[in-house]
Amino acid sequence: MAETIWNSAVSVYHFMMDNLVVINILLSLVIVFFQRRSPQTVWTWLLLLYFIPILGFVLYLLIGQDFHKSRMFKAKEIEGEIKYAVRRQEETIYRRRLRLTNPAVARYRDLILYNLEAGQAVLTDNNDVRIYTDGKEKFKALLEEMQKAKNIFIFSIILSVMMNCGSILSRC
């Protein structure tokens, strides 16, 4: 049993050594053409493959694979939901069943349809809009609203930027 496993491992090793150039070329083509990566990452993997062929191949199999496919599928799911909302609103507008809180908006039906079709911008109403002409007022209101927040859905910010922002705001 152990001898069979050993012989299989040796034959795989010999196959890889005999076809190392072909394997590197195929893997290089996969990295360059079939994966969306930054140029720096592509060059890093290519250099690793060519200068440390076997170890580079093993490292690529272990850590080089893109495990962010779930994010891609989630993004496609969200995109599908947006397209569904756009289609549903277009259908409602075409059938003249769209109920708006402000009847004056009905005059802009063509513009609403254009925004739906061109930019997939779904019409929303009953929005609260404030226009700020002074930066100090804007940041003061922003901080107040952030303190009132109950949930944060997307919040990624670099700590140093936030600290700089805080020191700027404290001077206001």
Q: Clarify whether residues 61 and 9 are in a common domain.
A: yes
State how many domains the chain has.
3
pLDDT at 141: 92
Residue 128 placed within a domain: no
Residue 38 placed within a domain: yes
Query: Does the global pTM surpass 0.85?
Result: no
* Rounded average pLDDT over 110-125: 83
Taking 70 as the threshold, does the pLDDT of residue 66 lie above it?
no
Q: What are phi and psi of 8, to 5 degrees?
A: -65, -45
Domain end, chosen from 26, 41, 66, is at: 66
Structural domain of 62: 2-66
Residue 25 placed within a domain: yes
Taking 60 as the threshold, does the pLDDT of residue 167 lie above it?
no
Q: Clarify whether residues 15 and 57 are in a common domain.
A: yes
Radius of gyration of the chain (CA): 28
The total of other beta-carbon atoms located within 10 Å of residue 29's CB is: 10
User: Is-contact 49 27, C-beta < 8 A?
Assistant: yes
Mean pLDDT of the chain: 77
Q: Clarify whether residues 6 and 54 are in a common domain.
A: yes
pLDDT at 88: 85
Q: Clarify whether residues 45 and 78 are in a common domain.
A: no
The total of other beta-carbon atoms located within 10 Å of residue 142's CB is: 13
Q: Clarify whether residues 45 and 16 are in a common domain.
A: yes
Residue 91 placed within a domain: yes
Residue 140 placed within a domain: yes
User: Is-contact 117 153, C-beta < 8 A?
Assistant: no
pLDDT at 40: 86
